[in-house]
């Protein structure tokens, strides 16, 4: 029983020890980086203890532990991340804040999600159509805003200076959850809105989020959906199968079709595009060894998509092992719990969030080790994008905390308020 | 409930499989690191397959005689930049291309930001000769920015001793690079039309296939009947002196004049029709194919810092290829091919002689790459083409030069060929090739090339270009 209580903390303790080992041998460590690391450790400890005290051992604790492992690694590798080309002096603080925001938001997002659920429930009392209609309108509005205002001059699709795909991912998730809980006609409307937003993102050259979103929804349908639809079931198998066959055909016969713009674009993206990025990531991993390498040599490209490679470069394959040891129990335990719970809007959102988080993490890792084509998928809890940190935190919060956890928190808040008053 | 349990088991298996795949990818990357690639030692270093660079600041870039040829400075923006010491810009390049860019993995552990920590990286000793480079810069100083003038010297083993252009600006130019659009351009590795200097390459191939030409067209025929113009496949090609009746013996009527030429005469007079008609006799397609095979014209040569290639020729333009009008290649490659054509050894050009770690340990020493399969058996002293080129060198010299270079002339150690390629807009490329043999004329030492591209000055004398090349070669003690 004691081991069961200790086990969720073990990957975190090992990650901190690994980080300290890397820092001790590092000649690049600065006081600034160490301060961020120390602050991160304090926050991670606070989060772990609070969640443990409030919610006990469950998916919330496992989720917090997994996030803490990645965040600790991110804060340790800041000197390395700083020296990769993608970062500047100003961005180092962004990275640090992003990581800390992420950790705190994990908890905060539970509150956000509960407030959201509260309003959604209020809206849907006696009016079951309100939530799906609102979700569909919001989704279409988002699509319209992205279509009209998006700008890709910087290489990323931006709307008013923000990454368009990230809020779109949250909206897509909410709309998908609303579609599942709606009746037949509204489900079709919500699905159409979903398709419109995903299509808009693709048209605006943002392929990463729509791709992982489709993958996440397919996984959700196959494993978490309480209802079955023959057409959807067939499609959920046929779409990936078609995709796989298409990729194989392009791989072996694509050269004969070269000259067709769309074929060339897909081929470049899948097979020859970003070869330098992939080669750089592979070189970086080659040098990492079990406990990492204390050298700037062979560092990977410093874009957010490849932050995980830099972390593994600095902390070694042992760190990757720790991520897996903390992520696998979190994902599996959460899935096990969510598959058994009722199909409420909150649970649907939680299971979809879990699927999306899993797909993002797994795809990014596969991309980093060269087993998946490079599309714009960042790893959660790392990188310089504050928006992505917020999304990561929200996804974790939505998937981690159950309604009973929220109730416990509400009770605790009442207790604290009572003591003060 | 049972259904949910089954799904959760499948889900767990799927997740574990995915993460196992991730681990497999990471572990395989590490395991593969133990096996060095089959590439050459320098390629191995360049590809970063071995832990070689320990520093974070750029190491030194040195000439072959130990003179630093590049240095770092902090720009007004606060950004750390790396530029060539005056006179070396074209070869050293910039972070966006050239020697620093291509060898940055050897020079430096990582990106430019790492320069904030002054940990020095590995040093590279190039094959470039500081005195030769400086002399070439001085010789090219008279040419303005309206032309591309450059000098290149390549040793028999492929080492590039000199690669200098008239775009070697003073160091101040790096503070305002936008005013110098060719600041980092390495003219010597850029392709351009080389004109009649290509003729000896065609003639060498034809000599190797001389039996196929028959008695009349044999290159050993001392009295080949040459005309002032020749029409091949609808293209009428004329000699540069086609209107100078004094250069011809017989007026054949209808504007056609003829004369008898030996191989040596043909080279000295740079007779286009002589080479074209021989190539046509051999077959234009056959000529192109055999030359492509012999000189690997269809292959791109990858050096440490650049790629050298030869422009393709369309079938409609094959008549312009044998005598050089459409021969589009770099000066470095011309030198390499001259070394091969005159001496019989095909060596790959290279720019890096060695790599040294900050502690002084040498981790790479260049080993010239000779392509044994391409070796030609050429007896330099008696070879008809080499002797013809030695005659050609003498024919280019002025009386004064004949007197001053008497020793060289008598020793017949220097082979030469000039060329002029017509360009659109009535400008021309002027080219001079020199090949230097050792004192007993048994081996080639090096080949040198001087080009003045896009010039409107038609009066650039061969003797003038020879003077400049001799000065560069003399400065390195080669002559």
pLDDT, tens digit, for every residue of B431-477? 999 999 998 899 999 999 999 999 988 788 899 999 999 999 999 98
Which range (A53-57, A63-67, A113-117) has the least confidence?
Answer: A113-117
A417, β-bridge pairs = none
**Mutate which: B15, B28, B55, B118, vs A, most A CBs within 10 A:** B15
B6, closest residue in chain A (CA to CA)? A223
Residues of chain B in contact with residue A87, where contact means CB-CB under 8 angstroms, are 113
**pLDDT for B211 beyond 70:** yes
In this complex, do B110 and A358 lie within 8 Å of one another by their Cβ atoms? Answer: no
Mean pLDDT score, A216-240: 82
In this complex, do A320 and B26 lie within 8 Å of one another by their Cβ atoms? Answer: yes
Which residues of A make CB contacts under 8 Å with B?
28, 82-85, 87, 223, 282-283, 285-289, 295-299, 302, 312, 317, 320-321, 324, 327-328, 331-332, 335-336, 339-340, 358, 362, 365-366, 369-371
In this complex, do A297 and B12 lie within 8 Å of one another by their Cβ atoms? Answer: no
Q: What confidence score (pLDDT) does residue B63 get?
A: 86
In this complex, do A369 and B54 lie within 8 Å of one another by their Cβ atoms? Answer: no
> Which residue of A85, A287, A328 is in closest CB contact with B33?
A287
**pLDDT for A88 beyond 80:** no
> Which residue of B4, B21, B51 is in closest CB contact with A371?
B21
Q: What confidence score (pLDDT) does residue A361 get?
A: 92
**Mutate which: B8, B10, B109, vs A, most A CBs within 10 A:** B8
| pLDDT tens-place string over residues B119-175 | 667 788 889 998 998 899 899 989 988 899 999 999 999 999 999 888 887 777 777
Residues of chain A in contact with residue B30, where contact means CB-CB under 8 angstroms, are 285-286, 288-289, 317
- Tokens 């007896």, located at residue: B379
Q: Write out the H or E segment, with its range, that includes residue B329.
A: strand B328-329
Q: What confidence score (pLDDT) does residue A123 get?
A: 66
In this complex, do A340 and B1 lie within 8 Å of one another by their Cβ atoms? Answer: yes
A276, closest residue in chain B (CA to CA)? B47
DSSP state string for B32-85: HTTS--SS-HHHHHHTT-S-----SB---EE-TTS-B-EEEEE-TTS-EEEEE-
Q: What confidence score (pLDDT) does residue B219 get?
A: 93
Distance from CA of A300 to the nearest CA of B (A): 9
In this complex, do A332 and B15 lie within 8 Å of one another by their Cβ atoms? Answer: yes
Average pLDDT, chain A: 78
**pLDDT for B357 beyond 80:** no
Kindly state whether B122 is in contact with chain A, defined as any CB-CB distance less than 8 angstroms.
Answer: no
Mean pLDDT score, B173-181: 75
Instruction: Please report which confidence band the pLDDT of residue A86 belongs to, taking 50, 70 and 90 as the band edges.
Output: very low
* Cα(A107)–Cα(A337) distance, integer angstroms: 19
Helix (H, G, I), strand (E, B) or coil at A184: helix
| Number of residues that this document lists for chain B | 479
With vertex at residue B360, the alpha carbon angle to CA B358 and CA B363, rounded to the nearest 5 degrees, is 90
* Cα(A215)–Cα(A208) distance, integer angstroms: 11
Q: What confidence score (pLDDT) does residue A121 get?
A: 65
For position B457, which CATH number holds? 3.40.710.10
Q: What confidence score (pLDDT) does residue B390 get?
A: 94
Q: What confidence score (pLDDT) does residue A285 get?
A: 82
Q: What confidence score (pLDDT) does residue B195 get?
A: 92
Which range (A177-186, A397-406, B251-260, B432-441) has the least confidence?
Answer: A397-406
**pLDDT for A304 beyond 90:** no
Q: What confidence score (pLDDT) does residue A101 get?
A: 61
Do A174 and A398 meet the contact criterion of CB atoms below 8 Å apart? Answer: no
Q: Percent of chain B scored above 90 by pLDDT?
A: 38
**Position with higher pLDDT, A272 vs A89:** A272
Of the ranges A211-215, A388-392, B58-62, which is most confident?
A211-215
Count the domains in chain B. Answer: 1
In this complex, do A336 and B48 lie within 8 Å of one another by their Cβ atoms? Answer: no
**Position with higher pLDDT, A77 vs A276:** A77
| pLDDT tens-place string over residues A330-365 | 999 889 888 887 777 778 888 899 999 999 999 999
In this complex, do A366 and B29 lie within 8 Å of one another by their Cβ atoms? Answer: no
Residues 6+ apart with CB under 8 A from A280: A300, A301, A306
In this complex, do A370 and B25 lie within 8 Å of one another by their Cβ atoms? Answer: yes
**pLDDT for B44 beyond 70:** no
Mean pLDDT score, A11-16: 90
B 5-24 residues inside an 8 A Cβ radius of A:
7-8, 10-12, 15-16, 18-19, 21-24
Count the domains in chain A. Answer: 1
B28, closest residue in chain A (CA to CA)? A286
Mean pLDDT score, B397-407: 90
C-alpha distance from residue A412 to each of A195, A214, A407, A415 (Å):
41, 38, 9, 5
With vertex at residue A297, the alpha carbon angle to CA A295 and CA A303, rounded to the nearest 5 degrees, is 100
Q: What confidence score (pLDDT) does residue B52 get?
A: 47
Q: Compute the half-sphere exposure of residue A378: CA atoms within 13 Å on the CB side of its CA.
A: 23
Q: What confidence score (pLDDT) does residue A30 get?
A: 65
Q: What confidence score (pLDDT) does residue A85 get?
A: 45
Do A113 and A397 meet the contact criterion of CB atoms below 8 Å apart? Answer: yes
Average pLDDT, chain B: 84
Q: What confidence score (pLDDT) does residue B247 get?
A: 82
Mean pLDDT score, B92-119: 58
Kindly state whether B208 is in contact with chain A, defined as any CB-CB distance less than 8 angstroms.
Answer: no
**Mutate which: B9, B34, B56, B113, vs A, most A CBs within 10 A:** B113
Q: What confidence score (pLDDT) does residue A96 get?
A: 57
**pLDDT for A1 beyond 60:** no
Q: What confidence score (pLDDT) does residue A90 get?
A: 47
Q: What confidence score (pLDDT) does residue B162 get?
A: 92
> Which residue of A289, A332, A366 is in closest CB contact with B12?
A332
Q: What confidence score (pLDDT) does residue B445 get?
A: 94
* Cα(B466)–Cα(B450) distance, integer angstroms: 9
Q: What confidence score (pLDDT) does residue B200 get?
A: 95
Instruction: Please report which confidence band the pLDDT of residue A283 belongs to, taking 50, 70 and 90 as the band edges.
Output: confident
**Position with higher pLDDT, B289 vs B95:** B289
ipTM score of the complex? 0.84
Distance from CA of B81 to the nearest CA of A (A): 15
| pLDDT tens-place string over residues B313-346 | 888 889 999 999 889 999 999 999 999 999 999 9
Q: How many Cβ atoms from other residues are within 10 Å of residue B312's Cβ?
A: 12
In this complex, do A283 and B19 lie within 8 Å of one another by their Cβ atoms? Answer: no
Q: Percent of chain B scored above 70 by pLDDT?
A: 85
Q: What confidence score (pLDDT) does residue A238 get?
A: 83
DSSP state string for B183-214: TT--GGGS-EE-GGGGHHHHHHHHHHTGGGGH
Q: What confidence score (pLDDT) does residue A313 get?
A: 85
Q: What confidence score (pLDDT) does residue A258 get?
A: 66
CA A130, distance to chain mean position in Å, is 29
**pLDDT for B422 beyond 80:** yes
| pLDDT tens-place string over residues A141-168 | 988 888 888 776 656 677 777 778 888 8
Q: What confidence score (pLDDT) does residue B227 get?
A: 92
């Amino acid at each position: 029983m004691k081991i069961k209580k200790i086990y969720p903390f073990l990957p975190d303790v090992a990650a901190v020890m690994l980080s300290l080992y890397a820092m001790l041998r590092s000649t690049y460590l600065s006081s600034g980086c160490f301060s961020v690391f120390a602050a991160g450790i304090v926050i991670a400890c606070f989060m772990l203890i609070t969640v443990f005290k409030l919610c006990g051992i469950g998916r919330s604790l496992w989720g917090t532990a997994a996030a803490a492992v990645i965040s600790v690694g991110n804060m340790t590798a800041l000197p390395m991340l700083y020296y990769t080309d993608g970062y500047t002096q100003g961005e180092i603080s962004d990275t640090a804040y992003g990581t800390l925001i992420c950790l705190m938001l994990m908890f905060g997002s539970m509150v956000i999600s509960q407030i959201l659920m509260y309003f959604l429930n209020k809206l849907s009392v006696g009016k079951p159509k309100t939530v799906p209609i609102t979700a569909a309108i919001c989704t279409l509005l988002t699509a319209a805003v992205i279509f009209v205002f998006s700008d890709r001059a910087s290489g990323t699709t931006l709307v008013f200076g923000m990454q368009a795909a990230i809020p779109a991912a949250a909206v897509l998730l909410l709309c998908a959850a609303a579609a599942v809980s709606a009746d037949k006609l509204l489900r079709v409307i919500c699905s159409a809105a979903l398709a419109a937003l995903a299509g808009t993102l693709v048209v605006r050259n943002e392929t990463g989020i729509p791709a992982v979103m489709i993958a996440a929804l397919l996984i959700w349908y196959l494993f978490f959906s309480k209802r079955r639809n023959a057409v959807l079931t067939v499609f959920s198998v046929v779409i990936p199968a078609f995709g796989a066959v298409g990729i194989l055909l392009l791989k072996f016969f694509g050269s004969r079709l070269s000259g067709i713009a769309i074929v060339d674009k897909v081929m470049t993206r899948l097979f020859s595009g970003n070869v330098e990025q992939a080669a750089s990531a592979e070189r970086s991993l080659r040098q990492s060894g079990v406990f990492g390498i204390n050298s700037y040599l062979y560092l990977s490209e410093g874009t957010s998509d490849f932050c995980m490679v830099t972390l593994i470069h600095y902390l070694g394959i042992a760190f990757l092992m720790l991520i897996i040891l903390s992520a696998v129990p979190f994902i599996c335990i959460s899935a096990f719990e969510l598959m058994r719970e009722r199909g409420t809007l909150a649970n649907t959102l939680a299971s979809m969030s879990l699927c999306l988080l899993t797909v993002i993490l797994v795809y990014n890792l596969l991309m980093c080790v060269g087993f998946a084509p490079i599309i714009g998928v960042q790893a959660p809890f790392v990188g310089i994008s504050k928006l992505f940190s917020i999304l990561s935190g929200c996804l974790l919060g939505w998937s981690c905390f159950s309604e009973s956890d929220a109730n416990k928190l509400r009770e605790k808040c009442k207790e604290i308020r009572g003591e003060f008053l | 409930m049972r259904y949910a349990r089954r799904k959760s088991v499948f889900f767990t298996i799927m997740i574990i499989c995915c993460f196992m795949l991730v681990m497999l990818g990471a572990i395989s990357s590490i395991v593969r690191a133990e096996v060095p690639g089959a590439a050459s030692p320098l390629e191995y270093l360049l590809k970063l397959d071995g832990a070689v660079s320990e520093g974070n600041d750029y190491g030194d870039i040195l000439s072959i005689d130990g003179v630093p040829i590049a240095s770092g400075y902090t720009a007004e923006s606060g950004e750390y930049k790396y530029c060539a010491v005056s006179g070396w810009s074209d070869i050293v390049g910039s972070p966006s291309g050239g020697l620093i860019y291509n060898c940055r993995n050897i020079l430096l552990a990582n990106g430019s930001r790492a320069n904030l920590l002054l940990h020095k990286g590995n040093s590279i000793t190039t094959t470039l000769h500081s005195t030769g480079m400086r002399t070439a810069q001085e010789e090219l100083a008279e040419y303005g920015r309206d032309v591309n003038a450059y000098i290149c010297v390549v040793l028999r083993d492929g080492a590039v001793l000199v690669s200098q252009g008239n775009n070697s600006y003073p160091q101040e130019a790096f503070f305002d690079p936008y005013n110098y659009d060719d600041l980092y351009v390495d003219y010597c590795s850029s392709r351009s039309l080389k004109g009649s200097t290509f003729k000896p390459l065609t003639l060498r191939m034809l000599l190797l296939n001389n039996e196929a030409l028959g008695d009349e067209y044999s290159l050993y025929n001392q009295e080949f009947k040459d005309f002032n113009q020749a029409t091949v496949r609808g293209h009428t090609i004329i000699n540069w002196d086609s209107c100078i009746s004094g250069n011809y013996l017989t007026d054949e009527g209808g504007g056609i004049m003829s004369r008898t030429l030996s191989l040596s005469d043909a080279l000295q007079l740079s007779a286009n029709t002589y080479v074209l008609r021989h190539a046509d006799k051999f077959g234009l397609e056959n000529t192109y194919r055999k030359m492509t095979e012999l000189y690997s014209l269809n292959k791109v040569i990858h050096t440490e810092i650049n790629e050298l290639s030869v422009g393709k020729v369309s079938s409609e333009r094959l008549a312009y290829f044998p005598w050089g009008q459409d021969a589009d290649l770099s000066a470095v490659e011309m030198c390499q091919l001259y070394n091969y054509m005159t001496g019989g050894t095909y060596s790959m050009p290279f720019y890096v002689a060695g790599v040294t770690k900050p502690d002084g340990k040498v981790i790479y020493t260049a080993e010239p790459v000779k392509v044994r399969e391409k070796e030609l058996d050429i007896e330099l002293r008696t070879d008809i083409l080499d002797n013809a080129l030695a005659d050609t060198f003498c024919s280019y010299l002025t009386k004064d030069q004949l007197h001053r270079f008497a020793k060289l002339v008598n020793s017949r150690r220097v082979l030469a060929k000039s060329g002029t390629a017509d360009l659109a807009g009535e400008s021309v490329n002027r080219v001079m090739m020199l090949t230097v043999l050792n004192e007993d004329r048994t081996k080639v030492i090096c080949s040198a090339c001087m080009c003045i591209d896009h010039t409107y000055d038609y009066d650039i004398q061969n003797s003038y270009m020879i003077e400049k090349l001799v000065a560069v070669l003399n400065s390195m003690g080669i002559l």
